């Protein structure tokens, strides 16, 4: 099997096994989305207005739960050193790990979001934009998260530092993603999707190179 596909499927298998990070992310996403309506109250107009923002924030936080282990296990068992010496580039390896994280975390979160939108009384015209914004934007979450995971690779308890690196960089995704849902509810022309798509495309293209550079620094150190 192609080395790139081997890394992709191995990471997906580890994430989806019993007790893996994919199930944890979905459980956290559902828990946050369930608790917010209980805390805010039964005002469906208010809940529908905040649905996009709350679900986007919950999705970002849920995705962060597994990001600190994106490179860590391979770093600890020496696999990264072997990959660095192999014909497979670290950039390709980083891209495979980003893709595996999105397929096991970002995509399931996107598919689950309409069910949670019901809890917020989201109007029928809001479900499509909600799913579309998450489908476009969550690859950026995985990509930016990979950069943060690579930067904190050799730092003790780097998982505690990771959110402080990643969350500020993901602010545009949250703003554009939630704004796209709100604009759709108001029936306005929606340029937020284009901005979100541009942000996601740039981060996905740059992240493998930035992550690989950070991994090299950690391996050299």
pLDDT band of residue 18 (cuts 50, 70, 90) is: low
Q: Is 15 exposed, middle or buried (0-12, 13-18, 19+ CB in 10 A)?
A: buried
pTM, entire model: 0.92
Could you report the per-residue pLDDT of 74-120, keeping only the tens digit for each? Answer: 888 888 888 888 888 999 999 999 999 999 999 999 999 999 999 99
Residue 37 structure tokens: 């309506």
Report pLDDT for 1: 65
Domain residues of the chain, as ranges? 3-220
- Rounded Cα distance between 103 and 22, Å, is 9
Q: Is 98 left (phi over 0), alpha (psi -120 to 50) or beta?
A: alpha
- Rounded Cα distance between 7 and 5, Å, is 5
Among 46, 27, 22, which Cα is nearest to 119's? 46
Query: Where is pLDDT greater, at 183 or 78?
Result: 183
pLDDT for residue 8 is more than 70:
yes
Mean pLDDT of 127-140: 96
Residue 201 structure tokens: 């495309």
Report pLDDT for 164: 92
Report pLDDT for 160: 83
Report pLDDT for 169: 95
97 with 72: CB under 8 angstroms? no
122 with 36: CB under 8 angstroms? no
Report pLDDT for 40: 86
Please tell me the least confidently modeled range out of 31-35, 60-64, 94-98, 190-194: 190-194
Residue 32 structure tokens: 């946050």
Report pLDDT for 221: 66
Report pLDDT for 15: 86
29 with 109: CB under 8 angstroms? yes
Q: Which residue blocks in 105-191 are alpha helix, DSSP H?
A: 107-117, 124-151, 158-169, 171-186
Among 162, 199, 148, 204, which Cα is nearest to 177's? 199
Residue 179 structure tokens: 């704004």
């Amino acid at each position: 099997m192609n080395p790139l596909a081997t890394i992709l499927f191995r990471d997906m298998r580890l994430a989806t096994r019993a007790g893996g990070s994919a199930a944890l992310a979905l459980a956290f996403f559902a828990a946050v989305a369930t608790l917010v309506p209980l805390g805010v109250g039964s005002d469906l107009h208010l809940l529908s207005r905040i649905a996009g923002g709350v679900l986007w924030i919950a999705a970002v936080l849920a995705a962060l739960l597994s990001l600190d282990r994106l490179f860590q296990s391979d770093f600890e068992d020496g696999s990264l050193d072997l990959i660095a010496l192999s014909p497979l580039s670290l950039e390709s390896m980083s891209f495979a790990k980003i893709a595996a994280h999105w397929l096991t975390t970002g995509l399931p979160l996107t598919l689950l979001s309409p069910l949670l939108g019901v809890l917020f009384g989201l109007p029928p015209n809001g479900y499509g934009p909600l799913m579309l914004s998450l489908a476009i934007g969550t690859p950026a979450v995985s990509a930016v998260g990979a950069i943060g995971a690579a930067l904190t690779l050799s730092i003790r308890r780097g998982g505690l530092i990771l959110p402080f690196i990643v969350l500020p960089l993901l602010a545009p995704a949250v703003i554009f993603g939630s704004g796209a849902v709100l604009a759709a509810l108001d029936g306005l022309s929606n340029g937020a999707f284009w901005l979100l798509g541009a942000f996601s495309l740039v981060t996905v293209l740059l992240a493998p190179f930035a992550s690989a550079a950070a991994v090299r620094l950690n391996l050299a150190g």
